């Protein structure tokens, strides 16, 4: 793969074309006469040919281009709508911590599984459901997303069904998303989940041998076959191969990246998956599983290269972090509700712990980050508004590089929870996300400029560069 050095990066400063017609400025990535222009303040972008780029550089923008630049947030004229950086506080994604119990013992898990595991009481769960329903009515929301969380959430399957039924009775459609180790997905659970249109992502750590090494059953035995049977039950129930896959990449799995992507695409016939790099935390038992900075950078390039190769060979497979970042760059939508515009914890997403406390994200191990409780009798939005001025979670995250970073709008210092788990406080930036952004975004832009037809296959036809 050609290196980014072949793409020239510069910054075009703001200027005034004529009275009241302001060009906002932006990062310019150029290659072979084409350019990708990115506005780091609002995340908008535009692809330009040589002539149009020259118009901007010469500060003589034609009417035709001016119109496009206004549309894409690069020019401001009086009365035209403006792209903004503001995100209102209006949660629509709710994580509910149902249980600490788990039937697996994964090496990188940060739950305290040696303690006696708890599961939420029916009374507390009902208070949370009522609180959500009341909030939805007051904010006029008819459809929301709920992620039952654990431990292994399927241990509390009946409680999950109750959440779904009760909200439906209250006139709210809850789209449920579950990440599961699949060990408890029986044919009955799979059928019920399919009938309710519950989205299930199965955790699998690459090739069977490595999966067994990293993901043991609670009794110490290998878990791959158990996971595979659960996955098969999903497929038989109607999901086909369209259930999700989540893989945690560690130093154990990294050397086999290309092999397990082949395995996913060819043996398991998976058409989409999410590959998350293992996050460091004080309770992780094996620190040797974390990737070095050089490995993270190298991984992003290898991942993209392998995805392209598999697709060119006719195996239609996408990775969802890459997909989200492509959407960020090209259409600025919130493909990923938690981090397409920096961390949206406490704005678009909140979490509840098993005592009914409310958190800005699944950071329930840090009780001081609670913004309130469903039992306080207070409403959600005022609680969150107050918390934005008070708790550590909302502290600004930045490093000395952020001020001149093209990816600022999408990153804003990364995942707050990751920083908190790693450092015990919110300080600096999420180094993992920072490195991932700084290595993957340039590769994606290189792709736009050199092989733009690949955008279509890496987004399953959702996006296309004409
Ligand atoms: S803390 Fe991390 S996981 Fe939570 S909303 Fe923010 S970015 Fe997403
Ligand atoms: S954390 Fe890194 S990638 Fe994110 S805005 Fe700052 S410098 Fe850019």
pLDDT tens, residue order, the chain (466 aa) = 444 447 999 999 999 887 778 899 999 999 988 999 999 989 999 999 999 999 999 999 998 999 999 989 899 877 766 666 678 999 999 999 999 998 888 887 766 556 678 999 999 999 999 999 999 999 999 999 999 998 999 999 999 999 999 999 999 999 999 999 999 999 999 999 999 999 999 999 989 998 998 899 988 899 999 999 999 999 999 999 888 899 999 998 999 999 999 999 999 999 999 999 998 877 676 778 899 999 999 999 999 999 999 999 999 999 999 999 999 999 988 778 888 889 999 999 999 999 999 999 988 888 999 999 999 999 999 999 999 988 889 988 999 999 999 999 999 999 999 999 888 899 999 999 999 999 999 999 999 999 999 999 999 989 988 7
Counts for the chain of helices (H) and strands (E), in that order: 15, 19
* Amino acid 438: pLDDT: 95
Q: How far is the CA of 431 from the centre of ligand 2 (A)?
A: 8
Residue nearest atom 5 in ligand 1 by C-alpha distance: 345
Do the Cβ atoms of 395 and 106 come closer than 8 Å? no
* Amino acid 391: pLDDT: 84
What's the pTM? 0.92
**350 closest CA partner among 144, 116, 51, 74:** 144
* Amino acid 1: pLDDT: 43
CA distance 435 to 51: 34
Pocket mutation for ligand 2, best pick of 328, 411, 435 (most atoms within 8 Å of C-beta): 411
Using the atom order of ligand 1, give the atom closest to the CA of residue 420. 1
Using the atom order of ligand 2, give the atom closest to the CA of residue 429. 1
Work out whether the CA dihedral 15, 21, 23, 24 comes out positive or negative.
positive
Q: How far is the CA of 329 from the centre of ligand 2 (A)?
A: 15
Do the Cβ atoms of 30 and 15 come closer than 8 Å? no
CA distance 439 to 262: 23
Q: Which residues, 6 or more positions from 454, have their beta carbon under 8 angstroms from its beta carbon?
A: 308, 311, 447
Q: How far is the CA of 327 from the centre of ligand 2 (A)?
A: 18
CATH superfamily entry for domain 93-331: Aldolase class I (3.20.20.70)
- Tokens 């975004």 locate to 441
- Tokens 């040589």 locate to 50
* Amino acid 212: pLDDT: 93
Helix axes 224-234, 187-195, angle to 10 degrees: 40
CA distance 154 to 159: 9
Do the Cβ atoms of 197 and 220 come closer than 8 Å? no
Helix (H, G, I), strand (E, B) or coil at 420: helix
Region of 20 on the Ramachandran plot (φ > 0 left; ψ -120 to 50 alpha; else beta)? left
Look at strands 173-180 and 199-203 and give their pairing. parallel
How is the chain split into domains, by residue range? Answer: 4-76, 93-331
Pocket of ligand 2 (CB under 6 A): 399, 401-402, 405, 407-408, 411, 413-414, 429, 434, 437-438
Pocket mutation for ligand 2, best pick of 407, 428, 445 (most atoms within 8 Å of C-beta): 407
CA 95 vs CA 90, 342, 452: distances in Å: 15, 18, 37
The tokens describing 424, both together, are 């015990």
CA 96 vs CA 122, 146, 195: distances in Å: 13, 7, 22
Q: What is the CA radius of gyration of the chain?
A: 23
Helix (H, G, I), strand (E, B) or coil at 70: helix
Q: How far is the CA of 217 from the centre of ligand 1 (A)?
A: 28
Q: How far is the CA of 92 from the centre of ligand 2 (A)?
A: 26
The tokens describing 211, both together, are 């999966």
Using the atom order of ligand 1, give the atom closest to the CA of residue 349. 5
Q: Which long-range contacts (CB under 8 A, 24 or more apart) does 373-377 make?
A: 374/124, 374/127, 374/128, 374/130, 374/131, 375/127
* Amino acid 242: pLDDT: 83
Using the atom order of ligand 1, give the atom closest to the CA of residue 417. 1
* E strands in 284-440: 318-319, 349-352, 357-359, 372-373
Q: How far from each other are the two terminal CA atoms of the chain, in whole angstroms?
A: 23
Exposure b/e, 301-337, CB count within 10 A at least 16 = b: bbbbebbbebbeeebebbbbbbbbbbbbbbebeebbb
Q: How far is the CA of 204 from the centre of ligand 2 (A)?
A: 29
Helix axes 320-331, 293-312, angle to 10 degrees: 90
- Nearest ligand, CA of residue 394? 1
């Amino acid at each position: 793969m050609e290196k980014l050095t072949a793409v020239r990066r510069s910054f075009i400063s703001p200027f005034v074309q004529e009275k009241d017609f302001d060009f906002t400025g932006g990062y310019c990535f150029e290659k072979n006469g084409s350019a990708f222009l990115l506005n780091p303040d609002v995340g908008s972008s535009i692809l330009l040919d040589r002539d149009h780029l020259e118009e901007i550089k010469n500060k003589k923008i034609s009417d035709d281009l001016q119109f496009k630049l206004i549309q894409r947030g690069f020019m401001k004229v009086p009365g035209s709508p403006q792209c903004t950086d503001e995100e209102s506080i209006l949660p629509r994604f709710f994580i509910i911590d149902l249980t600490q119990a788990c039937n697996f013992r994964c090496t990188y898990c940060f739950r305290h599984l040696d303690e006696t595991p708890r599961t939420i009481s029916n009374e507390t769960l009902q208070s949370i459901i009522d609180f959500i329903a009341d909030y939805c009515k007051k904010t006029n929301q008819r459809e929301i997303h709920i992620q039952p969380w654990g431990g292994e959430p399927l241990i509390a399957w009946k409680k999950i069904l109750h959440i779904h039924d009760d909200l439906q009775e209250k006139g709210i459609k809850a789209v449920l998303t579950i990440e599961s180790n699949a060990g408890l997905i029986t044919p009955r659970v799979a059928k019920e989940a399919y009938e309710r249109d519950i989205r299930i992502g199965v955790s699998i750590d690459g090739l069977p041998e490595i999966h067994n090494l990293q993901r043991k059953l609670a009794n110490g035995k290998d878990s791959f076959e158990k996971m595979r049977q659960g996955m098969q039950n999903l497929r038989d129930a109607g999901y086909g191969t369209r259930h999700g896959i989540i893989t945690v990449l560690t130093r154990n799995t990294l050397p086999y990246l290309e092999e397990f992507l082949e395995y996913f695409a060819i043996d398991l016939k998976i058409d989409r998956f999410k590959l998350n790099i293992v996050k460091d935390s004080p309770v992780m038992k094996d620190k040797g599983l974390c990737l070095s900075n050089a490995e993270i950078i190298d991984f992003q390039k290898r991942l993209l290269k392998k995805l392209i190769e598999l697709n060119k060979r006719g195996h239609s497979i996408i990775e969802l972090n890459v997909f989200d970042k492509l959407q960020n760059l090209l259409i600025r939508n919130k493909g990923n509700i938690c981090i397409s515009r920096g961390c949206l914890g406490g704005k678009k997403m909140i979490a509840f712990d098993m005592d009914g406390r409310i958190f800005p994200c699944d950071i329930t191990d840090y009780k001081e980050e609670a913004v309130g409780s469903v039992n306080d009798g207070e409403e959600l939005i005022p609680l969150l508004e107050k918390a934005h001025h008070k708790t550590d979670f909302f502290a600004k995250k930045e490093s000395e590089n952020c001020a001149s970073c093209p990816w600022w709008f999408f990153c804003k210092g990364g995942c707050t929870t990751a920083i908190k788990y790693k450092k015990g406080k919110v300080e600096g930036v999420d180094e993992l996300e920072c490195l991932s952004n700084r290595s993957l975004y340039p590769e994606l832009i290189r792709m736009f400029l050199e092989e733009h037809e690949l955008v279509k296959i890496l987004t399953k036809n959702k996006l296309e560069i004409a």
